[in-house]
């Protein structure tokens, strides 16, 4: 009788599918969700603020693409930091990004419930939340390829809608004065634009999630780094061009409610019709963000289980038929029911803390692996493996300092709890190994006698 073959993740994703999943997680429509807050923080200089945030986030994306080539596994920042630095900071990063990934489906469920309840007031928000959770679990268990195909369609919906919105803006274009309008307000200083950029950076969160799909991607060493840079390029073009056209068409705006400024903007540009289409597309966008969030967090839990950081029997298991981490998907769907009780503000703070902590560590891991360990120190390599990641880390750490005190405190408590768990678990494992060695030694001594 032969040995039982180990069930592994199915390697089936192409570059287009990986990019679609990354953009689905990032959700291009999030641009309009944060528009009012970003517009207010940058005092209307939204094109400049987006341009600055693109430059800043490029350094972190570049660091991810380097590490994805060196360590083409599914653990994302956890794997990169563990391999390049040490298992303890590796676990700390894995635990931090777990916070980001666990709360992303909660945000999707919450916003899905809020928008659909607004459209159909007779149906309570909790009904939509529970229904979305069930659908996300079923689609994810069915397989990554199906999730990717669905994400590709819904991402195209979002991009097409943003293109239609831009056409509405271009229709009102009158002349050269409007072309230079976005860059004509020199009274607004750099600190104000940077304040807007610090908020806008959250529009780019999600490009890193594709690194959790490495073991399900065809030729991951090439595909994942390309996908990361393509996602940033596509998002940057979408955001900067849209900002420029908005600033050109509406040089001065005020909103009744900053949270719903995106909807007010739609009505300004295209009336009630565009507003209704906007809401529909936004609901599709939220669904795909939830879908890819569950995909990413279930893969991270699988890697932590496979490495025996979390109980391997449960978290490291793969469904024999669907070849997906079904246990993790079901668990994440149960945790996502927290969206019935938690506030959106709290969930967003958790996500931001987890993502930014991970980003900072990945930049540092490039320096540790390439510049220090591998001694890649020629002039070009110094720029690639020291200057770029240092710039990325500095900017991300600065963003973390801008977070409110509650977010920093809650995030720190989460990290401390995780570190306590890790030390306890490694201590227990070490005790078991020592006990096993002693038993083996006693047994061998008895046999010798």
Task: Considering only residues 378 and 434, tell me which one the structure prediction assigns the higher pLDDT.
Answer: 378
Mean pLDDT of 108-127: 84
Residue 166 structure tokens? 């831009």
pLDDT in the model for residue 352: 79
pLDDT in the model for residue 75: 67
107 vs 338: CA distance, rounded Å: 10
23 vs 352: CA distance, rounded Å: 18
Neighbouring CB atoms inside 10 A of 339's CB total: 28
298 vs 321: CA distance, rounded Å: 17
| Nearest 10 degrees: Cα torsion 445, 433, 215, 358 | -160
List CB contacts of 33: < 8 A, sequence separation 6 or more.
262, 282
Mean pLDDT of 295-300: 85
Going by pLDDT thresholds of 50, 70 and 90, the confidence category of residue 3 is very low
Check if the beta carbon of residue 182 is closer than 8 Å to that of residue 35: no
Residue with tokens 């291009």: 28
The percentage of residues in the chain with a pLDDT greater than 90, rounded to a whole number, is 29
Check if the beta carbon of residue 23 is closer than 8 Å to that of residue 235: yes
Check if the beta carbon of residue 246 is closer than 8 Å to that of residue 62: no
Going by pLDDT thresholds of 50, 70 and 90, the confidence category of residue 430 is low
| Predicted confidence (pLDDT) at residue 446 exceeds the cutoff of 60 | no
Task: Considering only residues 22 and 443, tell me which one the structure prediction assigns the higher pLDDT.
Answer: 22
Going by pLDDT thresholds of 50, 70 and 90, the confidence category of residue 226 is very high
Mean per-residue pLDDT of the chain: 83
pLDDT in the model for residue 243: 92
The percentage of residues in the chain with a pLDDT greater than 70, rounded to a whole number, is 88
Task: Considering only residues 390 and 437, tell me which one the structure prediction assigns the higher pLDDT.
Answer: 390
Residue 181 burial (C-beta neighbours within 10 Å; 0-12, 13-18, 19+): middle
pLDDT in the model for residue 62: 94
Least confident of 60-64, 202-206, 353-357, 418-422: 202-206
What is the tens place of the pLDDT at every residue in 77-104?
A: 888 999 999 999 999 998 888 888 888 8
Residue 22 structure tokens? 């990354």
Beta bridge partners, 217, equal 13
Check if the beta carbon of residue 18 is closer than 8 Å to that of residue 227: yes
pLDDT in the model for residue 406: 82
What is the tens place of the pLDDT at every residue in 328-366?
A: 999 999 999 988 888 777 777 778 788 888 899 999 999
What is the tens place of the pLDDT at every residue in 173-182?
A: 665 455 555 5
199 vs 19: CA distance, rounded Å: 24
Q: Which of 28-32, 372-376, 410-414 has the highest mean pLDDT?
A: 372-376
Q: What is the CATH number of domain 15-403?
A: 1.20.1740.10
386 vs 392: CA distance, rounded Å: 10
pLDDT in the model for residue 101: 81
What is the tens place of the pLDDT at every residue in 121-143?
A: 899 989 999 999 999 999 888 87
What is the tens place of the pLDDT at every residue in 194-216?
A: 777 777 776 787 788 788 788 88
pTM: 0.80
Least confident of 95-104, 194-203, 384-393, 417-426: 194-203
What is the tens place of the pLDDT at every residue in 306-319?
A: 888 888 899 989 88
What is the tens place of the pLDDT at every residue in 243-271?
A: 999 988 888 788 887 777 888 898 888 88
């Amino acid at each position: 009788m032969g040995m039982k073959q180990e069930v592994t993740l199915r390697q089936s994703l192409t570059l287009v599918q990986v990019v679609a999943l990354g953009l689905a997680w990032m959700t291009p429509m999030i641009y309009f969700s944060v528009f009012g807050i970003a517009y207010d923080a940058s005092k209307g200089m939204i094109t400049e603020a987006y341009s600055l945030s693109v430059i800043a986030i490029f350094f972190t994306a570049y660091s991810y693409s380097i590490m994805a080539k060196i360590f083409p596994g599914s653990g994302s920042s956890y794997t990169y930091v563990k391999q390049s630095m040490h298992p303890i900071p590796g676990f700390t990063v894995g635990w931090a990004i777990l916070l980001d990934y666990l709360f992303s489906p909660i945000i999707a469920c919450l916003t899905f419930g809020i928008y659909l309840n607004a459209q159909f007031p007779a149906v309570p928000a909790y009904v939509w939340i529970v229904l979305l959770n069930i659908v996300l679990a079923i689609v994810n268990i069915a397989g990554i390829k199906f999730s990717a195909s669905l994400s590709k369609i819904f991402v195209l919906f979002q991009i097409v809608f943003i293109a239609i919105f831009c056409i509405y803006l271009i229709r009102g274009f009158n002349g050269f004065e409007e072309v230079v309008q976005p860059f004509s307000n020199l009274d607004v200083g750099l600190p104000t634009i940077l304040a807007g950029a610090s908020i806008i950076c959250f529009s780019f969160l999600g490009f890193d999630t594709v690194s959790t799909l490495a073991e399900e991607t065809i030729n991951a060493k090439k595909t994942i780094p390309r996908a990361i840079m393509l996602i940033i390029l596509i998002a940057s073009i979408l955001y900067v061009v849209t900002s420029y056209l908005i600033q050109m068409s509406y040089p001065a705006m005020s909103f009744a409610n900053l949270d719903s400024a995106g909807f007010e903007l739609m009505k300004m540009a295209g009336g009630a019709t565009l507003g209704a289409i906007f809401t529909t597309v936004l609901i599709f966008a939220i669904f795909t963000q939830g879908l890819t969030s569950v995909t990413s967090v279930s893969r991270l839990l699988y890697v932590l289980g496979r490495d025996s950081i979390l109980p391997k029997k449960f978290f490291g298991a793969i469904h024999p038929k669907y070849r997906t981490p079904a246990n993790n998907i079901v668990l994440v769907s149960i945790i996502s029911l927290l969206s019935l009780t938690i506030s959106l503000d709290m969930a967003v703070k958790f996500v931001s803390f987890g993502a930014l902590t991970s980003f900072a560590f990945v930049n540092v891991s490039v320096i540790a692996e390439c510049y220090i360990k591998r001694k890649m120190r020629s002039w070009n390599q110094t720029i690639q493996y020291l200057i770029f990641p240092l710039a990325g880390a500095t900017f991300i750490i600065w963003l973390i300092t801008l977070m409110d005190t509650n977010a920093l405190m809650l995030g720190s408590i989460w990290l401390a709890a995780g570190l306590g768990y890790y030390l306890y678990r490694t201590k227990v494992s070490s005790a078991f190994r020592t006990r096993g060695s002693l038993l083996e030694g006693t047994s061998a001594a008895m046999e010798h006698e």
